[in-house]
Amino acid sequence: MTKFEALGLNSALLNAITDLGFETPSEVQEKSIPILLEDETDLVALAQTGTGKTAAFGFPLIQKIDSNSRTTQGLILSPTRELCLQITNEMQLYSKYVQGLNTVAIYGGASITEQARQIKRGAQIVVATPGRMKDMIGRGIIDISKIDYCILDEADEMLNMGFYEDIKDILSNTPKEKSTWLFSATMPKEVATIAKKFMHHPKEITVGTKNSGVDTVQHEYYLVGGRDRYSALKRLSDANPGIFSVVFCRTKRDTQKVAEKLIEDGYNAGALHGDLSQNQRDLVMNAFRKKQIQMLVATDVAARGIDVDDITHVINYQLPDEIETYTHRSGRTGRAGKSGISMVIITRSELRKIHAIEKKIKQNFIAKKIPSGIEICEIQLYHLANKIRTTEINEEVNHYLPAIHDVLEGMDRDELIQKIVSVEFTRFYNYYNKTKDLNSVEPDRREKNKGASDDFSSNGSVRYFINVGERDGYDWMSLKDFLKDTLQLDKNDLFRVDVKESFSFFNSEAALKDQILETFTDFKVNGRFVNVEVSDSPEGGRRRRDKGAKGKRDGRDRNKSKGKKREGSFSKGGSRRSGTKQVTSSGNRRSKKRDGFY
Ligand code: ADP
Ligand code: MG
């Protein structure tokens, strides 16, 4: 007997499960399926994204539906069109051996007539987004007065997106005697309220820890002058070469403008807002999902449909008007057990909003500095070196190698390396060299964020460079844990942990410096040297002492030149995926254009 069989599933489902290649039930499936099969009960099931909740309710639902009757018996509400389609697809796969069972998807942005036709043909299971569902009930196209099962999937997201009223309306059209199954990744107050109001003594199961969904996100703010917002955005992106982000703007117009400027400046960006057609939005979302777009610039409303799990950064280009909205934005990252960073670009007058948000999210922001131009150059340089190291050799080049060897005749390895990295580095260097410091001075630096804004002053803390990063599987949380455990320190002893692709930075109080450097002398993990050095660039960049030639850099860091140079167009070079380079002469553009249209 397989484990799925032991849960009480029938052969039609077991066959489909075999076809799907599922071998063992996930925890949420193991816990929910027997309960749902045996009892007619309400259920609240909490489990993180990606734990197989769809099958946890899908299998029992399919088994309990009478496929000989054409009456709609099961309604699944889900927050977005994408999820709705995904669930429908899964349900169809699960029920492929159940004769006559029909699952139909109901969602906005597509022909209502066609959906009505499908319903009319008979759909025992309907998967719907709340908005379209309400619409169809209103038009009398769909009858849910005889359903036996109502499933609220991703309930936290639905409530996040403001569907409470719609859900209430929809439920009022369902019979009293039915079972309601609520599935959610988190259990915020709002979900608890729904459970209390619309459910009857629900059984409750929890998989893993009940996460509130916020503790995996680090919140950071960057204080800049109002006109420097756009430049700051670019620097934040350049300082995080692997970024995969949603950039939130307040209006459709700003969204479009920021996206256009980013594209013009050579970034892999796209806009998502309500003035686009459904088709355009689908194109953008598909490109984003495939990571062809690294920076998705979106309005709050349009971003509701985003169900992408590995977003590394949420960037608040402007803060939203409502604090509530901020939590929805930042919740786009740090999903599925991963960590994420929510960055806010603000001006001084908005500082008090940060305090209000901190109260709401019960988490402190870290005041961070926009990286200086030279730091970005450094980060990009290591990124490039890393890319060279990991690039797969294309055998097609072999053919040209003899000729290329002729061209490069007489250069030694060092010179060759210098030249290769200079090709790209010089573009960044020319662009960022002498650009000004974008950071606005915060009048009341808060002590509680120790090490956050002022920690590089002489009396403060020490910044370190460590030669492990994302490539070694670290994010800021896991690196912090690793350091904390290795150094046997308290988690508050380490701060400003910044993980880049192949290296990272972190801070400690000055008093811990010797201990830290000592611990990491000849320190190996899995046979590889893990090296920690003091970084003498205050904001994270590293200057190696043994490369004296760059020693004058501090001067360049600040804007030494009298004429204030603003950051204009800079081409990062096309899609990083395809590796094509689109070299734009940034110098020319810079003279013509000014950025920061705020
Ligand atoms: P959730 O709703 O909890 O975010 P999903 O139901 O979307 O998760 O499932 C995530 C993925 O895991 C899907 O691709 C699904 O097909 C797969 N999956 C679900 N259950 C199992 C299982 N028991 N074994 C293997 N894969 C599974
Ligand atoms: Mg799900």
CA 160 – CA 327 distance, rounded (Å): 9
The strand pairing partners of 508, in sequence order, are 462, 494
What digits encode the pLDDT tens for the residues 508-553? 888 888 889 988 888 888 778 888 988 766 555 444 443 333 333 3
The tokens for 561 are 């030149």
The CB-side HSE value for 569 (13 A sphere, CA atoms) comes to 20
Give the CATH number of domain 217-368.
3.40.50.300
CA 134 – CA 138 distance, rounded (Å): 6
53 CA distance to ligand 1 middle (Å): 7
* Substitution site in 27, 32, 51, 158 for ligand 1 pocket (most atoms within 8 Å of beta carbon): 51
The tokens for 343 are 């960055």
CA 287 – CA 292 distance, rounded (Å): 5
Q: From the centroid of its chain, how far is CA 178? A: 37
Ligand of minimum distance to the alpha carbon of 53? 1
What digits encode the pLDDT tens for the residues 442-478? 544 443 343 333 333 335 788 899 989 888 888 888 8
Ligand of minimum distance to the alpha carbon of 46? 1
Q: Where are the CATH 3.40.50.300 domain residues in the chain?
A: 3-206, 217-368
The tokens for 313 are 């950064």
Spelled out in words, what is the top-level CATH class assigned to the domain 3-206?
Answer: alpha beta
CATH 3.30.70.330 is held by the domain 445-593: yes
Residues with CB under 6 A from ligand 1: 22, 25-26, 29, 47, 49-55
The tokens for 92 are 């169809």
The full length of the chain comes to 598
Q: What is the pLDDT along the chain (598 residues), one digit of tens a residue?
A: 778 999 999 999 999 999 998 888 999 999 999 999 998 999 999 987 778 999 999 999 999 999 999 999 999 999 888 889 999 999 999 999 999 999 999 998 889 999 999 999 999 999 999 999 999 999 999 999 999 999 999 998 888 777 888 999 999 999 999 999 999 987 877 888 889 889 999 999 988 654 444 467 889 999 998 888 999 999 999 999 889 999 999 998 999 999 999 999 889 999 999 888 888 888 999 899 999 999 999 998 888 767 787 889 999 999 988 887 888 888 888 776 677 899 999 998 888 899 889 888 888 888 888 988 888 888 888 888 888 888 888 888 899 999 989 988 889 989 988 888 888 788 888 888 778 888 876 544 443 343 333 333 335 788 899 989 888 888 888 898 899 888 888 877 888 888 888 889 998 888 888 889 988 888 888 778 888 988 766 555 444 443 333 333 333 333 333 333 334 433 333 333 333 333 333 333 333 232 322 2
CA 118 – CA 112 distance, rounded (Å): 10
196 CA distance to ligand 1 middle (Å): 28
Ligand of minimum distance to the alpha carbon of 48? 1
Q: Whose CA is nearest to atom 23 of ligand 1?
A: 25
Q: Whose CA is nearest to atom 26 of ligand 1?
A: 22
* Substitution site in 13, 17, 19, 22 for ligand 1 pocket (most atoms within 8 Å of beta carbon): 22
CA 378 – CA 373 distance, rounded (Å): 9
Residue 137 φ then ψ, to 5°: -65, -45
Task: Decide if 541 contacts 375 (C-beta within 8 A).
Answer: yes
CA 501 – CA 465 distance, rounded (Å): 13
Q: Where are the CATH 3.30.70.330 domain residues in the chain?
A: 445-593
Q: What is the pTM of this model?
A: 0.49
| Atom number in ligand 1 closest to CA 20 | 16
DSSP 8-class letter at 512: G
User: How high is the pLDDT of residue 434?
Assistant: 76
In terms of DSSP bridges, do strands 461-466 and 504-509 run parallel, antiparallel, or are they unpaired?
antiparallel
CA 35 – CA 26 distance, rounded (Å): 15
219 CA distance to ligand 2 middle (Å): 26
Ligand of minimum distance to the alpha carbon of 19? 1
Task: Decide if 78 contacts 154 (C-beta within 8 A).
Answer: yes
